Structure 1
Amino acid sequence: MNMGLFLRRGFPISITTLCLVLFSLPVAAATQNQTVCLQCHGSQTGRGGAVVKPWQESIHAENGTSCQDCHGGDPKDAVNAMNPARGFLGVPKEIEIPSFCGRCHIGIRDDYLQSAHGKALGHGGPTCVTCHGSHDVKKATLDIINEKNCSRCHTYARAAELKAAMEQTEKRIVVIEERLKVYKGEGVDTEARGKALFSARNRYHRLFHEVNTAKVKAESAQIITELDKIQRDFGNIESERQKRKITGVAAVSGSLLAALLFYLLRKTYD
């Protein structure tokens, strides 16, 4: 709606009416973007409404993963929102949780199921939500391995060993990532090194659900060897950069010298 056009043509719009129209536009848009799941649960008190705020602050919400992406159903139809015919799954049973989450996190599901945690599924072992929560899911980092979380089921000693081994790897990955960003910004070809880092980082992430201390230490050592190769290769990049600088300085110096000679020759003939 062009308000300037209405005002220029003399339509009798009061300031109050104008404010109401303007402020109602974003609200209407926000309401349209809300699923019926959020509208219904958001209006509830107690257990039904308790899931909304944690989800809003989660990595799922940040990435655009909403209620229907996990629980199914029709997010646009209040009548059929929880209709199994529309794909509604509801809340999974404890033993179904890994498969429920694994529809998106396929590799992670497989890693979990092969671990001691996964093998204890249905027999008192932890599921995805035990460590990550159900609606307040945060971005997974090494911080999730801590005494408060792990000691709910067992002593923290083994988990602390696993975390220590992985911390060294993570620090190296972060350093290499930052250097590659700098080189890429300077126009250096980083494709091969980037692929090598991607492969090493994927191997590292596969260790997050591994609870075998010896295996984590051995894998971490191998990954660090791969990262060492990338870091050693930075020496070649530095040599290339140095050559470019020397070539650039030589080119500029040559141009300045040529300009000076040209100037002196003109002065001589003048």
Structure 2
Amino acid sequence: MMNSPLFFRTLLSAVVMAAVFLQPPSALAQVTENSCLQCHESQTGRLGEPVTLWRTSIHADNGIACHSCHGGDPALMSMEAMAPGRGFLGVPAETDIPDFCGRCHVGVREDYLKSAHGRALGKGGPQCVTCHGNHRVMKASPALINPQDCSRCHEYGRAGEIKGAVEETDRLIGVLEGDLADLHRAGIATKEMEGELFSLRNSFHRLFHSVEVEKVRAETARVRDDLEKIRVQVEQIQQTLFVRKVGGGIVVGLLVVAGLLAAFIRRTYHEEEA
């Protein structure tokens, strides 16, 4: 007869191994199979540097690789991968960069082109790469607004005002993202609130590109009001969980005390009988 414990251990091992090997690869793992990366990473100097920079970017974190921006065929291990017929776009001209990035960042492109920055495009004004970098694309945050970078083109005054208006709100968004992640791990349905927060975060970060102090202040106040609604919901759920946790602890404590009391009474009873 088959040894049952051994059989079930073997079956469990097989299931675990299948789960490991059949799960979809991560975004970065899929990207590393890219011929563009493999070719450029093996080179030095200016041809290899883009890969090094890209690996620390927000694009790499989200599985956005060379061909996502520059086109071409990442499956071909030959120069044919960069043929125009394969959709290769190469390096855009400076004045084309907003449209280049705007293929994905549509709303940001619109706000940028309407701003003082956008109106100065081609006249010495900044474009996406000026602030966000090219291959080491940085995550949008108030940290990108700083004296060192902004002062390359103009005085920091207005930029500093904008940063002051948005910094605390951005911090609150980060706190709420963490709180919702904790609630999700606790088994709470947070999808709707996460969607609201994601939408708020995106619309809020679009504000940075308007570079209009009064508009940023007004819209930031509106975003803060909406964030407060989410914060109240989160706090109510946290309080409910806390009450349940405390209640559960009290019940467990009472059961322990009852058990100890019962044991004490039983022991006393036996001693009296003896």
What is the aligned partner in structure 1 of residue 126 from structure 2? 126
Q: List alignment gaps of at least 5 residues for structure 2.
A: 1-31, 270-274
Matches within 5 A, 1:38-49: 38-39=38-39, 42-43=42-43, 45=45, 47-49=46-48
What is the aligned partner in structure 2 of residue 28 from structure 1? none
Residues 238, 91 of structure 1: CA spacing in aligned structure 2 closer, same or farther, 3 A cutoff? closer
Residues 163, 81 of structure 1: CA spacing in aligned structure 2 closer, same or farther, 3 A cutoff? same
What is the aligned partner in structure 1 of residue 109 from structure 2? 109
What is the aligned partner in structure 1 of residue 231 from structure 2? 231
What is the aligned partner in structure 2 of residue 160 from structure 1? 160
Three-state SS of the structure 2 residue aligned to 1:89 is coil
What is the aligned partner in structure 1 of residue 149 from structure 2? 149
Whole-Å separation in 2 of the counterparts to 1:40 and 1:184: 40
**Paired letter, 1:132:** H
Whole-Å separation in 2 of the counterparts to 1:254 and 1:44: 69
Report how far residue 49 of structure 1 moved: 4.2
What is the aligned partner in structure 2 of residue 82 from structure 1? 82
Matches within 5 A, 1:210-249: 210-241=210-241, 244-245=244-245, 248=248
What is the aligned partner in structure 2 of residue 51 from structure 1? 50
Whole-Å separation in 1 of the counterparts to 2:214 and 2:119: 18
Whole-Å separation in 2 of the counterparts to 1:249 and 1:64: 44
Larger gyration radius, structure 1 or structure 2: 1
Alignment check: 8 A CA contact 2:95 2:122 kept: yes
Whole-Å separation in 2 of the counterparts to 1:187 and 1:105: 33
Report how far residue 50 of structure 1 moved: 4.1
Three-state SS of the structure 2 residue aligned to 1:121 is coil
Alignment check: 8 A CA contact 2:71 2:89 kept: yes
Report how far residue 53 of structure 1 moved: 2.7
Report how far residue 242 of structure 1 moved: 5.3
Report how far residue 39 of structure 1 moved: 1.8
The count of residues paired between Structure 1 and Structure 2 equals 236
Matches within 5 A, 1:90-109: 90-109=90-109
Identical aligned residues as a percent = 47
Residues 181, 124 of structure 1: CA spacing in aligned structure 2 closer, same or farther, 3 A cutoff? same
Whole-Å separation in 2 of the counterparts to 1:238 and 1:82: 53
Between 1:97-106 and 1:232-241, the stretch displaced more is 232-241
Alignment check: 8 A CA contact 2:140 2:205 kept: no
Q: List alignment gaps of at least 5 residues for structure 1.
A: 1-31
**Paired letter, 1:74:** D
Residues 188, 88 of structure 1: CA spacing in aligned structure 2 closer, same or farther, 3 A cutoff? closer
Q: CA RMSD in A?
A: 3.3
Whole-Å separation in 2 of the counterparts to 1:39 and 1:170: 39
